[in-house]
C-alpha cells in the first residue's frame, strides 16, 4: 500500500479509464513493526489539478490524532500565485484500522496554470509525507487552465475480479479487486459504505482514492480501512467523487464475499 493516490487531473473527459479497486481486510492490531507513521495527500503532489480542487489529507497510524485535530483550524494555506489562499479543514472519514482522513477546501479558487505548495509542516511539524513526489517533504501541484464542473460517472458496473488472502507472523492481509470503467480521466476517489449482507453489523465507511487504473483501500500489517471476516458476504455502496468535489449522479451497490484461506498454514500453528 505504498503507491501514491492519483494521476494528474485533466480538464477533458473524453476517454474511458479502467481501474482496479482493491479492498484489503483485517490485520493484527499490534503488528506495526517496520510501519511508518505519516500522512498522504490526494491528489498526489505533482499532479495537475483544476482551479477548484479540493484536497484530502489522510493520517496513517500514529498521525491519526494530529490530522483529526486539524478540523476547524486555520493553520493550513496554499502558497503560490499572487496571494496566499487559506484552506478550510473539514471532517472527513475515520477508520477503526489506523487511518483518518479530512477534507481540505481552499477558500477561493486557485489561479490557472500556477504552481501551489501546501504549508503542511507549519500545521504538522516534522510530519512525514508518505506520497512525497519531489523528495523534499513539500506537497505542491500545478493548476490546469480552468475549473472542473463535470461530474464523473461509472460506465461499467464494478465487479469482483479476484481475491487475495495472506497470513504471516506479522498479521493478516485480505484483498478483493473490483474492475470497472469510469468516464473521468482525472483524479477521483470512491466513498465506500460496507455492511454485512446478513445479520446485524456496524456500517464501515471510508474513502478509496484512485490511482490511474488502481484504487487501493484496506489493511496490510500496518494500517487500513475495512475489516473482513473469512468468507463472509458483504454489501457495498460505492459513490464516485472527483478531485473538484463533483459527485457521480448515482451510486453503485454490489454484494461480495471476503476471501478466506484455501490451504492450511501449519507453520503459524507452531508455538
The verdict on pTM exceeding 0.85 is no
Tell me how crowded residue 38 is: count the other CB atoms within 10 A of its CB: 20
For residue range 49-91, list pLDDT tens digits in order: 999 999 999 999 899 999 999 999 999 999 998 999 999 999 9
φ and ψ of 267, to 5 deg = -65, -25
The verdict on domain 36-143 having CATH code 2.60.40.1220 is: yes
Report the share of the chain in percent with pLDDT over 90. Answer: 51
CA dist list (Å): 167 to 8, 29, 31: 35, 14, 12
> What cell does 130 get?
508518505
φ and ψ of 87, to 5 deg = -125, 125
For residue range 202-219, list pLDDT tens digits in order: 899 999 877 766 666 667
Quickly state the pLDDT bin for 2 (edges 50, 70, 90): very low
Enumerate the domain spans of the chain.
36-143
CA dist list (Å): 255 to 79, 168, 194: 44, 28, 9
CA dist list (Å): 242 to 5, 41, 152, 190, 218: 12, 14, 7, 9, 20
For residue range 88-110, list pLDDT tens digits in order: 999 999 988 889 999 999 999 99
- The whole-chain average pLDDT of the chain stands at 82
φ and ψ of 46, to 5 deg = 100, -15
For residue range 16-50, list pLDDT tens digits in order: 444 444 444 433 334 444 577 999 999 999 999 99
Amino acid at each position: 500500500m505504498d503507491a501514491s493516490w492519483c494521476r494528474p487531473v485533466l480538464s477533458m473527459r473524453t476517454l474511458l479509464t479502467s481501474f482496479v479497486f482493491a479492498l484489503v481486510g483485517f490485520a493484527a492490531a499490534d503488528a506495526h513493526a517496520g510501519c511508518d507513521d505519516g500522512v498522504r495527500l490526494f491528489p498526489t503532489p505533482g499532479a495537475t489539478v483544476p482551479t477548484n480542487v479540493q484536497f484530502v489529507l489522510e493520517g496513517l497510524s500514529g498521525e491519526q490524532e494530529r490530522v483529526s485535530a486539524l478540523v476547524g483550524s486555520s493553520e493550513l494555506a496554499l502558497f503560490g500565485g499572487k496571494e496566499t489562499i487559506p484552506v478550510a479543514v473539514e471532517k472527513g472519514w475515520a477508520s477503526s484500522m489506523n487511518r483518518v482522513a479530512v477534507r481540505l477546501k481552499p477558500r477561493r479558487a486557485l489561479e490557472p496554470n500556477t504552481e501551489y505548495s501546501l504549508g503542511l509542516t507549519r500545521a504538522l511539524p516534522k510530519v512525514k509525507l508518505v506520497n512525497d513526489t519531489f523528495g523534499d517533504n513539500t506537497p505542491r501541484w500545478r493548476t490546469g487552465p480552468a475549473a472542473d464542473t463535470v461530474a464523473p460517472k461509472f460506465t461499467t458496473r464494478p465487479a469482483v475480479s479476484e481475491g487475495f488472502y495472506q497470513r504471516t507472523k506479522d498479521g493478516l492481509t485480505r484483498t478483493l479487486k473490483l474492475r470497472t470503467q469510469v468516464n473521468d480521466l482525472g483524479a477521483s476517489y470512491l466513498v465506500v459504505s460496507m455492511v454485512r449482507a446478513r445479520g446485524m453489523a456496524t456500517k464501515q465507511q471510508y474513502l478509496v482514492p484512485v490511482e490511474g487504473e488502481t484504487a487501493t483501500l484496506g489493511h496490510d500489517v500496518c494500517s487500513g480501512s475495512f475489516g473482513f471476516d473469512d468468507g463472509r458476504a458483504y454489501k457495498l455502496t460505492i459513490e464516485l467523487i472527483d478531485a473538484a468535489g463533483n459527485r457521480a449522479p448515482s451510486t453503485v451497490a454490489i454484494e461480495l464475499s471476503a476471501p478466506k484461506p484455501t490451504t492450511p498454514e501449519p507453520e503459524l500453528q507452531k508455538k
